[in-house]
Amino acid sequence: MISRRQLLSFISVGVLVPNAVRAMSHGGTAVKVEESDANAQALKYVEVSEVKGQNCANCVLYRSSDEDGWGACSALQNNLVAEKGWCIAWAKG
Ligand code: SF4
């Protein structure tokens, strides 16, 4: 797990920018994040959390969506992550 300060630093140095550009290029439509996505891998995102008590659904960066079981993650350009997922940017929501 990383701290919120580390997360903000991570974002500010532009590690996640390429995905934002890609999101804009397809009209900003949220897509399901694949574990194989470079930005997801940078955050060590997995669709099923192995960390007890921590998952996307209880992360402060998660917002529910119309897609059952999936929600928007602000660390991944508001693309959709699995509510049972997890990454190193998890922060208590
Ligand atoms: S930042 Fe939170 S909502 Fe986004 S992938 Fe990581 S744990 Fe899930």
Averaged pLDDT, 46-72? 97
**Percent with pLDDT over 90 in the chain:** 69
| Rounded distance between C-alpha atoms, residue 71 and residue 29, angstroms | 13
pLDDT at 5: 66
Q: Into how many domains does the chain fold? A: 1
Find the domain containing 36 and state its range.
4-82
Chain-wide mean pLDDT for the chain?
Answer: 84
Name beta bridge partners: 72: 63, 80
Asked whether residue 92 is domain-assigned, the answer is: no
Asked whether residue 93 is domain-assigned, the answer is: no
CATH code: domain of residue 9: 4.10.490.10
Helix (H) or strand (E) holding 79: strand 79-82
* Cα 1 to ligand 1 centre (Å): 11
How much is the pTM? 0.75
CB of 33 sitting under 6 A from ligand 1: no
Q: Please report which confidence band the pLDDT of residue 28 belongs to, taking 50, 70 and 90 as the band edges.
A: low
Which atom of ligand 1 approaches the CA of 76 most closely?
A: 4
Is it the case that residue 16 has pLDDT exceeding 80? no
CB of 70 sitting under 6 A from ligand 1: no
